[in-house]
Amino acid sequence: MKFDITGPPPPWHRFSNRLRPATASPRILILLDRSKTKYQSVIDKIHDINASVSVKFVETDFEFMANVRKAADTILADRDVTTIDALFNNAGVITNDLVRTPDGFESQFAINHLSHFLLTNMLMPRLFTSSCPKIVNISSLGHQHCQPTFQEPHFNNIDPQKYNPTEAYAKSKGAQVLFSVALNRRTNLKLETLMVMTQEIVGRSLEEANETLTKTSEGGCATGLTTPLELDVPNGVFMNDCEVPKDPELVTAWAQDAGKAEVCWRVSEGAVGQSFSFEVGLL
């Protein structure tokens, strides 16, 4: 098995369930983030758990769409990576002020959604070679607070003094849920298991930026990193606390709307400047 994980947070080495993919004995584990030095302790711990795992680190700055493309191209060009069995879209950010990426996007929308949209679609040829590919999009129950409109992903018309970071975060996570809905509709016959996680923000750096969190880092990541290893999880489910939520209101109705999901897909394609087709002949 081969796993890709974006934005593995620094506290990985403290929590056994964050290292669970290593216990599943993947042949290759690919980590994507900005600094390999910061994650060397993670790599060392993975090897302590399972010395047979080949850990590859692909330097990726999720603020730059060009850098995300470069990371995807690096993985696609790697002769050792002929198949990807699971992709964990885990990278995320929350800001207190309006921050723009070098591409001109509002940073939360770019990092929390657009980067994953682009990376996932570019890696689809390797996912489709797996007998049971899985994509895990880490979202947040915070998506409930504000529905994305997709009218202005660059936030050019937003007064920085009136910028609401909580709403912007919610919109980015809502977009990620809608992306999952649209992706599931497009790949239902080829991508056997698509799981969408809805949970609160996890990771120490995000905790420091937002005092309203309701999960510890260990508890929050348990669903995202455990579920892909369970083969009996239905396709296209929303999960929270390691189970399909019994409360239907945990995932808002608009976040499951096929029409809104298609709008999200089209706007995201326009934002990254590339259209994606999953016709068999193109893969």
Catalytic site residues?
Answer: 169
Q: How far is CA 73 from CA 119, 121, 175, in A?
A: 9, 12, 24
C-alpha–C-alpha distance, residues 51 and 101, integer Å = 38
Q: Which residues contact 42 (CB under 8 A, 6 or more apart)?
A: 8, 10, 12, 13, 31
Of residues 6, 272, 39, the one with CA closest to residue 136: 6
C-alpha–C-alpha distance, residues 213 and 166, integer Å = 12
- What tokens does 106 get? 């509002």
Of residues 15, 239, 230, the one with CA closest to residue 140: 239
Cα dihedral 198, 129, 20, 11 sign? negative
Of residues 171, 145, 179, the one with CA closest to residue 257: 179
User: 2 with 30: CB under 8 angstroms?
Assistant: yes
C-alpha–C-alpha distance, residues 148 and 160, integer Å = 18
The secondary structure of the chain in percent helix, strand, coil, rounded to multiples of 5, reads 45, 15, 40
